[in-house]
Each structure stands twice: as structure tokens, then as C-alpha cells.
Structure 1
Amino acid sequence: MTAFDVSERRIWDGRAESYARTVARLCAHTVPALLDAAGAGHGTRLLDVGCGSGSVTLAAVARGAVVRAVDAEPGMVAATHRAAPGVEVRTGSLPQLPYPDGEFDAVVANFVLNHVGRPLDALVELRRITRPGGRVVVTIWQAPGGSGQALIGRAAEAAGLTRPGWLATVDEEHNFPRTPDGLKVLLTTAGLRDVRSESLSWEHHADPEDWWAGPAAGVAAIGQLVNSRGPEGVAAAKREYDVLCKEFASEGGELALPHLALLAQGRV
């Protein structure tokens, strides 16, 4: 594993429940488009890679697909198993998954390439386990992203918080532009054909306290930044966050947070 993979395991260890209560709602927005691109329907043999709390798995099952799921974090595996008890859910991490060549009609990974240190190798693995003519579909966060994506980071910066030294980034030789063209090139380089990539935009609506709860609980890299100076730092960032939230206030007191993601698909 790369240093980035090691830090990702540390970030997500034991945080399945906090993720399910917070960020999972945001990540679920792209699920219909993801499954449409995968052609998920009755009888489709589909693998949900990085299944998290099970939103993709449940939606694919509802479409009649024959679904299996896998995640690197045991807590996420347990969460998806509870949500979809009839689905086989296994523990496994990219770029080596516990499935034979050509096992699936479609393989989907919703906001998973963001969390692997070798994205190209991960895509090659997704291609390997997809049958000839089958589809691989992925989503990632676009960079630069929407203004709502930067809210917590702005609050942390205003509070004087700095990124923990152990929190690694993707090595330059394995990184790629988080743009429609950058993701398209990555899928093409991985050997996929008929590749298409597009940007998705939406406003995520959330209660301000609910939106803060994820980072405060240490969810994702931004949560590690918020908690980098202990309770005092969390409190300082929260004060800045409360001020910045006014920029995104909507009727009824919720936040309306613009987000940008990328969806790309290709055939084997």
C-alpha cells in the first residue's frame, strides 16, 4: 500500500456509523445516475465497490440486479450487510479484489477512487473483474469543486488549523486531474473503451448541525483537519463555521451547499 492508502485506512477505521449519519446522504445523490450508466436492471450481475453504508447496493437491488458488495472497512461491510441482509458483502481493498476475471456485468464505484493511492491500478482491477462488453462506472469529487465543498475547510483555515503531518496525499506519479477530461483519460489508459465523462452539479441541503457533525466526528480527511488540535481546535473551527454558514442559508434554516462531482463510464 502507498502512504495514502495507509492514512485512508486510519481515517476510516471505526467511522462507519458516523459516515452513515452524515456524509452518506451527500454521496447518495449520484446513485441513480451511476446505476443508469451501468445499465443496472433485472438480472444484472453487479458489484458495488466501496459499498459504505449500502446506498448503491440497496438501489441496485430495487432495480432487480443480482448484487454483491465489497469494502475495505469492516464497519462498512457490516453496515451494508445490515441494510441488505440478502446480499453477499465481503471485505476487500483496491487494487486487489477477491473476485475472478470477468465475474460481473457491471462494476460501480461511487466516490471510491478518491480514497485509493493508485487510481489507475484500481481501474485496471475493476476492468479485470468485468466481463467483455460489461460496464465500469465511477464517480469522484471534481477539483476545483463547488463552493459548498469548501465550507468546512474554510472554517478550519480561519481557525488556524493545519493538515496533520501523517495525513498523506496521492503520490504525484499516481495522481490525475480531477476534471472530466482527466478522468476520461484515466479510464482510457486503464484499457476501457467507449469512455464518457461528465460533470454533475447539485445543491446538497442539510441542517447546519448535521453537516458539522461528520467532520467533528473525524469523518474523512476534512474531519482529521478539524480534529488536528483537539477539542479546542474543534471549538474554534465551529465558531468560524457558524459565521460562514450564513453564506449558504436557505429558507427553513437549512444549508444549500453547491457540489460538483464527476461521473465516468467505459466498456470492457
Structure 2
Amino acid sequence: MALHPQHDTLVVEPTAHGGRLAFYRQAADAAYWDELWDAQPADYRRARAGHLPLHLRRAVRRHLPPGGRVLEAGCGPGQFSVAMAARGFTAEAVDWAPRTVERLRTAAPKIRVWRGDVRRLDVPDGYYDAVYSPGVCEHFSDGPQEVLRETLRVLRPGGTALVSTPCFSPLLRALGPGGGPGRLPRPQAGEFYQYAFTPAELSAVLRAVGFEQVRAHPYGALATVLEFTGPGRVLAARVPRAGLRPLEAALDLLGAAHLSGRACLWVARRPAYPPVAPGVPRISAASAARPSTTLEDHST
């Protein structure tokens, strides 16, 4: 989502991994999201043709088998759900902003869309093949764990989570948000809005709640420069953002997002087997009648 750093107070919050970036502006409640999406009407023309941004297109192609059931949890306008339905998936979407939900229902009547809390989804365990969390878990001041645990619960064993949040990139850390690097006091004004995580930090959180095969993919290499540096703001004022998209895509393809990505997409897998004691082999049902075979665990 678009951020407005000049209106935010940025604070480095101490954590076990050395500090996450916190934005203070206003609480991101349901009313906030309805007002935001009211002011940014969605265009579904490309989504109805199956278009996805590059970082999502890569992840879907590499990690999601065709035709599965996919939930967009905290969908906002829901272009991802519309695109996934166009690609042959069974797409469902949930959000807690009522006008936003109704707008998506009108735009995509064949997609199941409902109002709900991503921390307490009214669906059975193991219901989805994949869940996409598009910039949601960072908005809870007590941390992302509750959202991520619920994501794990509703995924089938072996299912895939795609989790996107703002990224606390090396460039952003070097810029010293809030007036200087290090641990800064909480602001006296403004409400908590969101966190930005380093790739390593949220990877560790995902593993701690039970995910495996966690991979972090920063993206949006140019956006940090445009939003947080003087020269970048001058460039953004002079050149329409659409005109800069080819440059940003090229920088991402060249790997620059690992230094300056504005956001990060984590791809993680719910284990196909329940946890077992160390040294006990994991046996598939198909091989139960044959001599036992230890399966290699590729968790990272």
C-alpha cells in the first residue's frame, strides 16, 4: 500500500532480532480501510485477465499447484482474488471493512467474499491450499503471530502461505528513520499504524509459529528511494509513478530489492506432517505398508 512517511513518526522498536520499524500515524481499523479504499477506486480490467504483479506471479507459478482453493485474507479491493479466479483457482476473500467487502462482491459476484477477522477465520482447519496475506499482519501492535497462526491453521498440510509486509531494508536502516538510527522513544502523538520487518525477523517468526521452507523475497527496490530520500522525492514529483515502473522492475530483477526493497513477500509452507520427536522418521501413508523410509526435511 502507499505510505506517506512525511506524515508518520518512525520508531525503531527493540526485538529479539535487533529492532523492527514502527510507524505511528493512526490506527488501521475497519473505518480506516473503508475510507482508504473509497478514495482509491479499484480497476479490475487487468485482474480479470489474470494479471498479477511480478513478485506474486513468480510465487504463484513456483509454489501453487493449478486449480487449488486460495484465500486472500485481508483482501482490500481484492484484485489478487479476481486474478486468481481468472487463472482457474477457487478464490475466496475476507476483509473486516464492510464497504470494501460489498464493493468486491459487486465487482466479482462469482467469488465468495465475506466480512471477518483474519485472526479468527470461520473456516475449518486445513481448508485452503494457499493463503495470501497482503500487508495485514504488520498492523497489529502486539505483533504478527496471531494472524500467522490462524493462517497456518486454515492451510492444508503442505499448503503455502504468501505473506507480504513493509520491509525494513538495509537502505532504510542506513537512512536512520525517526531522525537517527538506534532505539528511539515512543512518540507522544499518533496511534500505532504498522511495523516494517527485516526479512530475517519475519522469517524467524514464521518458523516459530510452525511454518517450514520459509523464503523471503524483497521487492519494490525503487520505492524506498522515492519515499525516503530527498533526490527520490524530487524524482517522484517530476515523473509519474507509472513511468518509473519499468525501472523499478529492472532493479528488482537485478537484485537491488535486497538492499532497498520497500516490501517483502515471504513464502512459507505448512508442514505436511505433524511434529515428531527428534530422530523419529516421518512416514507417508502411501509407504506405511512398505519398509520405513526417512524423508529429508528441507526446512530452513
TM-score per shorter chain, which class?
0.5 to 0.7
CA distance in 1: counterparts of 2:38 and 2:146, whole angstroms: 29
> Unaligned 5+ residue runs, structure 2?
1-23, 179-186, 249-260, 271-300
Cα displacement (A) at 1:31: 3.5
Distance 1:41 1:79, change over 3 A: farther
Match of 1:183 in 2: 202
Within a 5 Å distance, the mapping from 1:248-263 to structure 2 comes to 248=236, 256=244, 260-263=262-265
Q: Look up the SS of the partner of 1:97 in the other structure.
A: coil
Q: What does residue range 88-237 of structure 1 map to in structure 2 within 5 Å?
A: 88-117=112-141, 118-144=143-169, 165-169=189-193, 178-203=197-222
The aligned counterpart of 2:38 is 17
CA separation in 1, counterparts of 2:104 and 2:170? Answer: 28
C-alpha spacing 1:166/1:203, structure 2 compared with 1 (3 Å): closer
Root-mean-square deviation (CA, aligned residues, Å) is 3.7
Give how far 1:202 is off: 4.3
Is the 8 Å Cα contact of residues 113 and 140 (structure 1) preserved in structure 2?
Answer: yes
CA contact (8 A) 1:40 1:65 kept: no
Deviation at 1:11, TM superposition (A): 2.6
TM-score, with structure 1 as normaliser = 0.64
Deviation at 1:70, TM superposition (A): 0.3
- Quote the residue 1:54 is aligned against: 78
Q: Which has more helix, going by share of residues?
A: 1
Answer with 107-116 or 64-73: which moved more.
107-116
In 2: Cα distance, 1:31 partner to 1:141 partner: 15
The amino acid across from 2:127 in the alignment is E
> Which of the pair has the greater relative contact order for Cα pairs under 8 Å at 6+ separation?
1
Any conservation in 2 of the 1:34–1:108 contact (CA below 8 Å)?
no
Q: Please name the residue that 1:232 is paired with.
A: none
CA contact (8 A) 2:94 2:113 kept: yes
SS in 2 for 1:14: helix
The answer to whether the 8 A contact 1:200-1:263 is kept is yes
**One-letter code aligned to 1:95:** R
Bigger Rg, structure 1 or 2: 2
Alignment partner, residue 7 of structure 1: 27
Q: Distance in 2 between matches of 1:45 and 1:199?
A: 26
Question: Is residue 2:60 matched to residue 1:39?
Answer: no
Contact 1:31 1:59 in 2 (8 A): no
Work out the CA distance in 1 between the residues paired with 2:94 and 2:193.
Answer: 24
Task: Tell me the SS of whatever aligns to 1:51.
Answer: coil
* Structure 1: gaps (5+ residues): 155-162, 205-210, 212-240
Residue type matched to 1:133 in 2?
G
AA aligned to 1:119 is P
Aligned residues: 208
Tell me whether 1:246 sits opposite 2:248 in the alignment: no
SS in 1 for 2:124: coil
Deviation at 1:250, TM superposition (A): 6.0
1:145–1:94 Cα change, 3 Å: farther
1:70 is matched with 94
CA distance in 2, matches of 1:53, 1:81: 10
User: What SS is found at the alignment partner of 2:151?
Assistant: helix
Please report the TM-score for the alignment, with normalisation by the length of structure 2: 0.58
Deviations 1:225-256 (A, max 9, x none): xxxxxxxxxxxxxxxx9x97433356679674
Deviation at residue 113 of structure 1 after TM alignment: 1.8
Aligned to 1:230: none
